[in-house]
A and B are shown apart, each in its own frame.
Chain A
């Protein structure tokens, strides 16, 4: 049998030791009418057949690497140094459990401590936790912290928050009677009854706003300021900590984690010192062993569900340690400077592509007045879905048609460049798009 080490002889010996006549006897406490339901399950597969079946399914997708992809919108195809995969493929890391027994888990504990430390450096915050599920749930947890801290139940969120993040904040809020309002101008909308302001760096459309006034306005009314930030953006622009934010959350996927159809990624959260004990999730602290040597342990567990039960800061138990390890190795290999360089390359290429596309007749930037990093909303001739489909026939994933999220943006496409968008693929994009250029009515 697939992964079962004991043969018939061992099983017989074990039953004898137990004093049972059969395995069936061990299930005697289960009412008989519940036992052995008729299940319709496929035949067991040999490993080779299993590989064939999974390769068949994998063969029925078109990976980004086989296309010229300009899709981003929260999930990015960034170059992942090989050492990242080599690290997370080690059984010492991927088969380990949550490091409850510190003495036998120093490897995992130290890498988490390093993750916490590097996230602090990147975001400019005081304290970071060991990770959360993803960027969207991290934002929702941040909002719940703000609700608990302020005793208020209204949230003011920027309208250009990622739609997935906004949706998850709403779902989390609904259970607790938390109301979520969206606005284009958070700093003038936030008031004394509000728990928090939530903004994004960059916004869903890739644009960067002046965010320091949001943090100031929130502070002035006793609300918590939350910034949902792209970690690579934090390597280039002034990070949320420097802008005065109380909580920074985000998705660590751009730090060495493959897109993987949306998960697993890794959420992160970093806060000001005063909010440390309100944080959800695991925290690793530096301490010492009996011989005075540096050692690490899970700490401040009195916040957590296994100690505090219904009074815990969150119900989170498992975090995303292995993807956090990928991010740790990525950050350590790239360094702050390497990540900034990756951001710069992405900015240069995106702006070059945007310039060439908006020079084509019928194409223009949808938000020409707003500065953007490596993503931009592009107005195309006609319906963006039609355009994207036509481009796809040329092997190009031209971007994300925005009509899916906003009916007013049916003619817009969110286009993304990273360091994996080669100059040759930029040329092919422009070449293919130029066939749609010209007066719109001709192409319809």
Chain B
């Protein structure tokens, strides 16, 4: 705990404000271990616990977690909040993450008691509005993706991927096509794609990319045999480049009996403007926390609905929402379903936000994609003199630059990333895709103003200019963040994953 400065105390002994130094952990903030905050009276005739819970072993003492007094806890949280970059403070140009502004009204709407204070096991008659919202959201997402039906159940994008792959397995199995155990995945794909395939029990075959960043069609053709269950693709891909051969690939896949899976991580480039369903995709997962603006929350909760073409609808997770006239109900009658992929019906609170977001744009939703691509292409043009670009072809809502082969030999993507933090700018995604050395992947999103993009371009140019003069200074960054460069090697070598009371 900080000391209080006394009059006459030497300045050197006055401690730095807590927010400038180390922030104590909740365990170090004091608070009592014995009682906790005042609680309501039970209001019934209390009986000894030993009598109510015969034979049940109780804790001898409470769990050693202090009850921190509210004023102390509030300041602790306030100081921690200052130590986070966030969207209300500055740009977050993380490629592949779509860090767009989260509308304030959506937060209020999700907290309405009619949405937040309802129970998943209440009778359908008591939750009609919630079921209607889910039913309507499914219709809107089907329209936007060109799919027949959508399950809102998956909790995140990766969860949606795995759900989609399980449905693809069920589809092949139902046709007696049991030898299809492989998934074709481009080398530039997100790491979740191969990880989801492995979790589903599928074997991963890596497909090569062309120098322009698109999938090598010949390599796809080589692996499209009777063992291929599906091809997983991101479009535009992780380099931000539209897969120009998509219709040809779809035709080849279907001819070979394989299905086409769409990773919706980059749908922001196309929302309202082109549909995965029209491209021939059979399964689509969406990241509501990307394209549809539900907040990232420091790493979740997200939401990863997964849509399917007609032939795969029998395999959707159960339950779905059904409509009978003006009544809505949960439909558990899906004998061929892959089962439940999580408890209840999905991250409903996120569904409310996404529904509100889509209704705000409505029929004008293609403006999202248009402005996202315009912003990215503008930023790319502004950065052209600062960083080499990874591919020569036109990119869409995001692009990949590199420090390799740039003006300063020895300047690494990591150094640029860390120096950006000193300017109040979050770093772009670094070292991804792994096919590009020293990659810096920028995705500004449609909610950045031109002024904010200009500022980012100027900061990047200033950092490269600084590196030309004094590379070591850039390598020492950041200097102005609450902590300086964090030793991640130490964190991994001697993992300390929890606080422990000194013995």
Contact = CB atoms under 8 A, between A and B. Distances in A.
A107 B122 CA distance: 37
A60 B127 CA distance: 7
A8 to B, nearest CB: 12
Nearest to A171: B339
Interface in B200-228: 200-201, 204
A290 B37 CA distance: 39
Contacts of A65: 113, 117
B44 A61 contact: no
Contact of B112 (A2, A55, A93): A55
Contact of A333 (B70, B349, B355, B362): B70
A59 B268 CA distance: 32
Contacts of B298: 93-94, 96-99, 105, 108, 111-112, 321-322, 325
B451 to A, nearest CB: 8
Interface residues of B, number: 201
Contacts of A53: 359
Contacts of A121: 63-65
Interface stretch (A173-181, A217-225, A359-367, A435-443): A173-181
Interface in B165-200: 166, 169, 190-192, 194-200
A100 to B, nearest CB: 8
B81 interface: yes
Contacts of B256: none
B481 A315 contact: no
A30 B199 CA distance: 33
| Of B65, B192, B293, most A-chain CB atoms within 10 Å | B65
Nearest to B127: A61
Contact of B191 (A90, A306, A318, A389): A306
Nearest to B78: A90
A423 B39 CA distance: 14
B65 A110 contact: no
| Of A37, A174, A260, A426, most B-chain CB atoms within 10 Å | A260
Interface in B291-314: 293, 295-303
B140 interface: yes
Interface string B125-153: 01111101100000010011010000000
B334 interface: no
A45 B84 contact: no
B88 interface: yes
| Of B82, B120, B275, most A-chain CB atoms within 10 Å | B120
A213 to B, nearest CB: 12
Nearest to A40: B143
| Of A17, A264, A282, A400, most B-chain CB atoms within 10 Å | A264
B5 interface: no
Which DSSP category, helix, strand, loop or mixed, fits chain B's interface? loop
A30 B244 CA distance: 7
A91 B87 contact: yes
Contacts of B155: 133-134, 137, 263-264, 320
B325 interface: no
Contacts of A106: 23, 80, 83-84, 481-483
Given A133-B155, A235-B63, 6 more contacts: A2-B361, A35-B273, A58-B129, A103-B485, A258-B116, A261-B120
A291 B303 CA distance: 39
A371 B54 contact: yes
B486 A103 contact: yes
Ranked nearest first, the 5 interchain pairs of A and B with the lowest CB-CB distance are A338-B36, A262-B344, A335-B67, A58-B114, A322-B297
A318 B52 contact: no
A1 B367 contact: yes
| Of A47, A96, A388, most B-chain CB atoms within 10 Å | A96
A61 B367 contact: no
Contacts of B356: 50, 54
| Of B146, B301, B377, most A-chain CB atoms within 10 Å | B301
B344 A91 contact: no
Nearest to B241: A29
Given A315-B198, A316-B156, A338-B37, A348 B47 contact: yes
Contact of A102 (B62, B361, B374, B486): B486
